[in-house]
Amino acid sequence: MRYLVTGGAGFIGSNYIHYLLEKYQDIKIINLDKLTYAGNLENLKDVENDSRYKFVKGDIGDVKLVDALVQQTDVLVNFAAESHVDRSIGTPDAFIKTDIFGTFVLLEACRKHGIQKFVQISTDEVYGSTLKGAFREDSPLMPSSPYSASKAGADRLAYSYHVTYNLPVIITRCSNNYGPNQYPEKLIPLFVTNALEGKNLPIYGAGKNVRDWIYVLDHCDAVDFVIHHGKDGEVYNIGGGNERTNLEITDIILKELDQPETLKVFVKDRPGHDLRYAVDCTKLKQMGWQPQYEFEKGMKLTIDWYTANQDWWKKIKSGEYLNYYRQQYQIS
Ligand code: NAD
Ligand code: DAU
């Protein structure tokens, strides 16, 4: 099977490429990634000489390049996106270009050349926030940030290519991932690495927002599962079943790293901050998929990974990242 994985140098994409190479012997993977600030080839250093794997630097919005690559592809899994909500509030442009237009370019190439499967990696954020219950795949979409709105656009565009052109599209909507190789702008890697450095942990608002957390390899496994068992044109929610407030996550990290409560600081809230995400995963579970990583085990693995791989995140935290954080928190 020949895979085109887009955004494979990022957090989930690189974990997915490792997952595929470990699981399947007879596989060819092309990783198309633009290497934005979030793309990092160090995530794939151990497989760069694997004859089953090839990296291509490029933009999913590049029609000519995408056209050529899709002709060598059986399964396309689209992870490529601008993925950080805070950045989408400051600079939404790139989100529209990559998350919507880029997905359009991929879909058009697949329409032209044919494909066995097109997997659009969407997100649970497309449903928006809810105080009670959990969203099913047929719940209305109410995205509330430029990030989630751009993802909702891509999600529905992919669906339209199934309905209109009979393209074999599957859409997944996963909850918050955590694990190794996540860029330290997201809650868990930011707080773990800050705690390791003895720096403050900036909690937005009152810290009462709730997310459902899933270990990244469980997400990878669910994507593989729907490729083999899913139905074209369907949406699949993917969740870990681990709802926690941001304060609970903060306390777990401080306790595990034996750091004081005084590192907690409450900062200005994120504009339009969604209070709670929750997905109902009955559809996938009834098909036989289950997450494997218990939350406590996944968190321990994750914290241990950032503790053992300080070179990885220290390099990141001293580059472009610093400019971003100076702007974000208005520090000089
Ligand atoms: P990430 O930011 O770590 O990685 C994104 C990758 O896409 C990077 O390697 C980047 O270089 C690449 N990229 C960006 N623009 C590109 C372009 N125009 N062309 C080619 N490559 C480009 O993101 P992530 O957390 O790994 O998320 C991956 C996907 O999963 C995204 O589509 C995101 O919306 C979705 N998702 C993420 C989560 C989560 O919790 N992180 C949950 C559900 C869904
Ligand atoms: O739900 C899936 C989504 O999860 C993905 O689609 C997104 O790509 C991914 O970034 C993530 O979005 P969130 O906004 O939920 O993740 P983030 O890690 O940015 O924030 C998690 C929670 O922690 C959120 O309530 C905001 C809060 N937070 C975050 C940061 C970075 C803080 O309190 N302080 C912080 O410094």
If one residue of 15, 55, 83, 172 were mutated to test the ligand 1 pocket, choosing by the most ligand atoms within 8 A of its CB, it would be 83
CATH of the domain at 60: 3.40.50.720
| Ligand located closest to 207 CA | 2
Q: Which atom of ligand 1 is closest in space to residue 80's alpha carbon?
A: 7
Kindly tell me the sign of the dihedral angle through the C-alpha atoms of 160, 74, 1, 59. negative
Residues β-bridged to residue 6: 32, 78
| Ligand located closest to 7 CA | 1
Residue with CA nearest ligand 1 atom 15:
81
Tell me whether strands 243-245 and 210-215 are parallel, antiparallel or unpaired. Answer: antiparallel
In the residue annotation, 67 being an active-site residue is answered as: no
In the residue annotation, 124 being an active-site residue is answered as: yes
If one residue of 148, 211, 325, 328 were mutated to test the ligand 2 pocket, choosing by the most ligand atoms within 8 A of its CB, it would be 211
With CA atoms as reference, report the closest residue to 52 among 89, 11, 18.
18
Work out the average pLDDT over 247-257. Answer: 98
Report which secondary-structure segment, H or E, holds 177.
Answer: strand 176-178
pLDDT above 70: percentage of residues in the chain: 96
If one residue of 4, 6, 11 were mutated to test the ligand 1 pocket, choosing by the most ligand atoms within 8 A of its CB, it would be 11
Work out the average pLDDT over 247-259. Answer: 98
Distance CA 123, CA 211 (A): 12
Confidence band of 187 (pLDDT split at 50, 70, 90): very high
The per-residue pLDDT for 118 is 99
Cβ burial of 260 (10 Å; 0-12, 13-18, 19+) is exposed
* Per-residue 3-state assignment (H helix, E strand, C coil) for 235-259: EEEECCCCEEEHHHHHHHHHHHCCC
- Expressed as residue numbers, the domain containing 275 is 2-329
Q: Which atom of ligand 2 is closest in space to residue 186's alpha carbon?
A: 18
Based on the structure, what is the number of domains in the chain? 1
Q: Which atom of ligand 2 is closest in space to residue 148's alpha carbon?
A: 6
pLDDT in tens, 13-28: 999 999 999 999 999 9
Question: Which token pair is 210?
Answer: 């709730």
The per-residue pLDDT for 319 is 72
Longest dimension (CA), the chain: 58
Residue with CA nearest ligand 2 atom 3:
176
Work out the average pLDDT over 96-107. Answer: 98
The per-residue pLDDT for 287 is 98
Confidence band of 326 (pLDDT split at 50, 70, 90): low
Whether 277 is in the pocket of ligand 2, judged by its Cβ within 6 Å, is yes
pLDDT in tens, 125-162: 999 999 999 999 999 999 999 999 999 999 999 999 99
186-209 per-residue burial string, b: 16 or more CB within 10 A, e: under 16? bbbbbbbbbbbeeeebbbbeebeb
